[in-house]
């Protein structure tokens, strides 16, 4: 035992904050907290045997450390091995074959742009994930038309999320049929609903949810709180180098303006006159893609920085492009949510 090593499983990654660390389990999608000194120890434990670790501490400290080690072994965050060199660290590279990976399309009663055309452009770009937000009521006929446009494409849009405003003329059953007909619609959220309701399709990820909240416009976004945390490999690795909200995202606001996010000020051209491809290839458009959490004030000291989704639309200081998200209430220097 004394000449073996304690090794974290490669999918359990330490993120050091100012006062404590998180140990993020990107395989099982959870995280725990660790004191900074324990996480420091674990970061070097691949080259120091257990015996060497314990011999450099007092009996009391060693006892404390060994309690943490027991916990990590017991809960399968770490294992003992004689050959740490056989277990390389996980590469944290992130890459994608797609120029654009995700998109938000906003539409309300005043919108005049051609939504079917916008979607077919996204298909052409190879954008796999699309969210369409309707702030005001739309009829079933319009939805069918829009979705038919998608189903005629090449199938590169793989999942579609619809945010719809409550419309008493469309029944739950009709929405259910809609998803059955277009299984790429993985979720329908109906906002401004007088009742709450949730339906999960058996043996699939598709779901329908009715919520009371009225989503009036694009300002309903950018919240940062533990309930929105994500611990998975794709998100964690992307966040290392890229912006965790805006990287390879393209958006069309309700006026047809092409933006990084509908809630941001800067537009790069209108969908009526410019193509999504043209806009997305502009280097100015891509600037925000590279603002990772390590570049953002305060966030760079936070132990949650690869778990939360950043927001560049609402920040504490709009004049500073590296300012902390306005709607994040966590302080990594006091470890308090306010």
Partner 1 sequence: MILILTTHGDHSTDQTIDWLTHYKAKYQRININDLLVDQTISYKIDSTQDEFTINNKSSKDFTVIWFRKSGVFRSSYLMLKSKSILKDQLSSFLSFEYAAFVQSLKISFKNVTWLCDIESVEALDKTKQLILASKAGLDIPKSLITNDKNCAAEFVKKLNGKSIIKPLAESEIFNAGDAKYSISPKLLTQIFFKALKTKKFLPSLIQEYLDKDIELRIFFLDGDCYAMAIFSQLDNQTKIDYRNYNFDKPNRYVPYALPTTVIENLKCFMRDVGLNTGSIDMIKTKCGRMVFLEVNPKGQYDMLSNPCNYFLEEKIAKSLINKLN
Helix, strand or coil, per DSSP, at residue 129: strand
CB of 249 to partner 1, least distance (A): 18
What's the DSSP call for residue 270? B
CB of 73 to partner 1, least distance (A): 10
CB of 76 to partner 1, least distance (A): 6
Tell me the two tokens of residue 133. 């937000």
CB of 254 to partner 1, least distance (A): 31
Pick the closer one to partner 1 by CB: 4 or 323.
4
Pick the closer one to partner 1 by CB: 95 or 112.
95
Which residues of the shown chain bind partner 1 in the complex (CB under 8 A)? 9-11, 27-28, 76, 79, 85-93, 95, 97-98, 126, 233, 237
CA pair distance 152, 9, nearest whole angstrom? 44
Residues linked to residue 78 through DSSP beta bridges, in sequence order: 8
Pick the closer one to partner 1 by CB: 91 or 283.
91
Tell me the two tokens of residue 227. 């309930």
Tell me the two tokens of residue 250. 């393209």
CA pair distance 325, 155, nearest whole angstrom? 35
Alpha-carbon distance values, 194 to 159, 191, 212, 314 (Å): 27, 9, 6, 29
Which is nearest to 103 in space by CA: 245, 285, 271, 228? 245
CB of 88 to partner 1, least distance (A): 5
């Amino acid at each position: 035992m004394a000449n073996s090593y304690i090794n974290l499983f490669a999918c359990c990654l330490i993120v050091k904050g100012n006062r404590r660390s998180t140990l993020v389990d990107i395989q099982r999608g959870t995280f725990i907290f660790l004191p900074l000194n324990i996480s420091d120890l674990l970061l070097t434990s691949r080259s120091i045997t257990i015996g060497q670790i314990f011999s450099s501490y007092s009996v009391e400290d060693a006892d404390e450390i060994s309690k943490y080690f027991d916990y990590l072994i017991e809960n399968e965050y770490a294992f003992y091995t004689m050959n740490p060199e056989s277990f390389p660290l996980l590469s944290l590279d992130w890459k994608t074959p797609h120029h654009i990976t995700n998109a938000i399309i906003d539409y309300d009663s005043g919108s005049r742009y051609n939504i079917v055309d916008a979607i077919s452009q996204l298909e052409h770009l190879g954008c796999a994930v699309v969210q369409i937000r309707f702030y005001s009521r739309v009829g079933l006929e319009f939805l069918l038309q829009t979705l038919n446009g998608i189903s005629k494409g090449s199938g590169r849009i793989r999942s579609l999320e619809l945010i719809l405003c409550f419309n008493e003329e469309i029944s739950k059953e009709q929405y259910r049929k809609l998803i059955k007909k277009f299984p790429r619609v993985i979720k329908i959220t109906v906002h401004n609903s007088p009742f709450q309701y949730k339906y999960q399709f058996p043996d699939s990820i598709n779901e329908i949810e009715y919520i009371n909240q009225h989503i009036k416009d694009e300002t309903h976004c950018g919240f940062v709180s533990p309930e929105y945390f994500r611990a998975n490999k794709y998100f964690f690795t992307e966040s290392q180098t890229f912006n965790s909200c805006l990287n390879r995202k393209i958006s069309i606001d309700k006026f047809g303006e092409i933006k990084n996010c509908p809630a941001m000020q800067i537009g790069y051209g209108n969908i009526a006159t410019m193509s999504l491809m043209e806009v997305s290839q502009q280097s100015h458009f891509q600037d925000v893609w590279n603002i990772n959490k390590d570049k953002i004030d305060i966030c760079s000291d936070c132990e949650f920085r690869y778990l939360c989704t950043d927001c560049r639309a609402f920040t504490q200081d709009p004049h500073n492009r590296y300012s902390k998200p306005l709607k994040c209430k966590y302080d990594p220097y006091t470890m308090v949510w306010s």
